[in-house]
Structure 1
C-alpha cells in the first residue's frame, strides 16, 4: 500500500483532528491518525487497499473467530460499512447462520425499491451459497410489523440480513415492534443479525439518521448497548460527524466502519473482530480528558468493548502524547 506521512505539531483537540483530517482527505483521499515519535501524524491510506491476509488463530485453521455461543444463548452481529462487500464478509455471515443449514431472512426495507417486485433479487446471493431457506421480510407499516404471521419467518430464522438504503425507513417501520423483539430473539438463541450501510446504522439505540458533518439522530435497535455506529466512515469523511455525536453522548463508544469492511461482534462477550479490506475506527470518550481516543482496527484485529474503554499505550489520543 502506498503511503505518505503528514507530520505536524501535536493536535490539541478533537475538532482540530477532524478539521485537519477532513482537509487531508480532500487532498489525499483518506487519512488515519497514528502515533509517530510522541506526536500525532496523519497517514494517507489507499482507498482501495489490497485484501489483507487474516491473522491465524491457532484454535481455528481458517484464522476466523467462531462466535462463542455458551449454552446456545449468544449470537453475533456482522456490521458492515457499505460498498461492495468482500466474499469474506458474506462467507462469515453465512457460516454464523449455519452454513448449508442456514434459514436466512432478508430485510430490504431501507431501500426505496423494496416495494417493487424486483426486490426479490436480494435473495439470490444467499440462495447461491446454498442456504436451506431464504425468505424476504418487508413492510412500511409498524402495525403490520406487529402481526404474528408477518414475523413468523423470524421465529424460524438462524440469520437475518438487513440491506442498505435509508436507515430512517427501517426505524419508522420496525423500532419498538415485534420485528425488533424477534430480531433480538434470533441473537438470544445463537443466531446472527447482519447489516450493511443503513443496516449497520440501525444496530444501535442511538442511531445516526443522516447529516453530512452534523448528525441528526433517531432511534435504532438496541443490539449493541454502549455504542453508536457510523458507516462509509473513511470513504465519506465522517470523523467530524461521529465526534459530534460523542460530544453529546459521552457514555457511548463510536464505531466508524469503512466500506468493504465488517465488524463482527460476539454479543455475550462483546468480542470484536474485523474482516474485509479497510478499517474500523473506535472513538472512545475519555473521562480523564476532554479529548476522545482513537483506535484503528485493521482486518484480522481482535479486541472487546472493555479493552477499548480502558486506556492503553496503543490507543491514540487527540492531543500531544
Structure 2
C-alpha cells in the first residue's frame, strides 16, 4: 500500500513539474468561487455548466471546513443532484485518511470538487502539506472545476484571510479599524496567485478588512464576493454570476503607514461588477 501511495505521489509531482515547464497547458480547469449565503438554482446550474460534466464524470464534496460535515454534504448534494444526474461522493478527510490511496484516487479523478463553508482554518489544518492538497491541484490542472463557498472561497487564495485580527483581537464580522499588521493570513490552497478573496462581502460590510488585506499585499488584486454570488475563473479571465455584486480593489497609490499604524493612500482602483460582467486579472 505504501509503495502504491508513493507511486501516486510521484506521478502527481511529475505532472506538476511538466505543467510548470509548459505553462500553456497549466490550469486547464476552472474555479467557481461563491461568496456564501443562499445558492439559487440558477447559480447551481451555472456551476454545473462550468464543470462541463460528461455522463461518466462524478463530483466530490470536501466538507472539512464544516463543524457539521454530513449536513453540509447533504445540503449541497441535494442542490447538485437537482441539476445533474452524475454521482456525488463525500470525502471527509482527517489525519487518518489523508494518505488513503482509494480516497486520493477518487479525488484526483473528480470533474467537480466542491469545498463547503465553515472555518477555512479547519480545512487547511487537514489539507496543507498532505497528498490531499496535491490531489486537488492535480485535478484542477487537468480539467476539473474546483468550487467553494464561504470558507471554501477563502481557501482559494495563497494568502488566506483567517478572519482573525492580530491587534484588535475581539472577533467582528467586519473590521472597524484600518491598521497595518492587523489582519491575519495563513497559507491557503494557492489556486489563485496574487489574489486575495473575501466572502459575505456586502452582507457583512467587509470593506475595511479587504482594504487591510490590500495594504498588506499592495501588488495583489483583492476581490470581495457577496452572498449568493460567484466568480468563475478560467486562466486570468473572471466572469461574475449570481444575484449580487463583486468588488475588486487594487493598485493603491502612495500607500503609507503613519503613527499608530494608521493606513493612508492617495488613490486606489475600485471596481464593482454584477452578473454577466467579465474582467481580467493581471
What TM-score, normalized to structure 2? 0.76
The 5 Å alignment of 1:180-259 reads 180-211=133-164, 212=172, 213=175, 214-259=182-227
* 2:229 aligned with 1:274: no
**How far apart are the structure 2 equivalents of 1:190 and 1:88?**
23
SS of structure 1 residue aligned to 2:98: helix
* 2:108 aligned with 1:108: no
Kindly state the Cα deviation for residue 228 of structure 1 after the two structures are TM-superposed: 0.3
**How far apart are the structure 2 equivalents of 1:238 and 1:130?**
34
* 2:123 aligned with 1:170: yes
**How far apart are the structure 2 equivalents of 1:130 and 1:255?**
29
Q: Could you list the runs of 5+ residues in structure 1 that have no partner in the other structure?
A: 1-69, 307-321
The 5 Å alignment of 1:93-132 reads 93-99=47-53, 101=55, 102-114=57-69, 118=71, 120-122=73-75, 123-132=77-86
Q: Could you list the runs of 5+ residues in structure 2 that have no partner in the other structure?
A: 1-23, 165-171, 176-181, 256-264
- On the 8 A contact 1:285/1:293 being kept in 2, the answer is yes
Kindly state the Cα deviation for residue 242 of structure 1 after the two structures are TM-superposed: 0.9
SS of structure 1 residue aligned to 2:147: strand
**How far apart are the structure 2 equivalents of 1:298 and 1:128?**
25
**How far apart are the structure 1 equivalents of 2:85 and 2:137?**
21
Count of residue pairs the alignment pairs up: 232
**How far apart are the structure 2 equivalents of 1:89 and 1:288?**
39
CA RMSD of aligned residues (A): 2.0
SS of structure 2 residue aligned to 1:225: coil
- On the 8 A contact 1:204/1:222 being kept in 2, the answer is yes
**Residue in 2 aligned with 1:9?**
none
SS of structure 2 residue aligned to 1:272: strand
Label 1:207 to 1:167 Cα distance change in 2 as closer, same or farther (>3 A): same
**Residue in 2 aligned with 1:156?**
109
**Residue in 1 aligned with 2:228?**
260
- On the 8 A contact 1:109/1:139 being kept in 2, the answer is yes
- On the 8 A contact 1:96/1:191 being kept in 2, the answer is no
The one-character-per-residue Cα deviations of 1:241-300 (angstroms, maximum 9, x if unpaired) are 11111111112110000011001100x3x1011011111100103356633221111111
Kindly state the Cα deviation for residue 127 of structure 1 after the two structures are TM-superposed: 2.5
- On the 8 A contact 1:272/1:305 being kept in 2, the answer is yes
**How far apart are the structure 2 equivalents of 1:73 and 1:219?**
20
- On the 8 A contact 1:107/1:138 being kept in 2, the answer is yes
**Residue in 1 aligned with 2:168?**
none
- On the 8 A contact 1:111/1:165 being kept in 2, the answer is yes
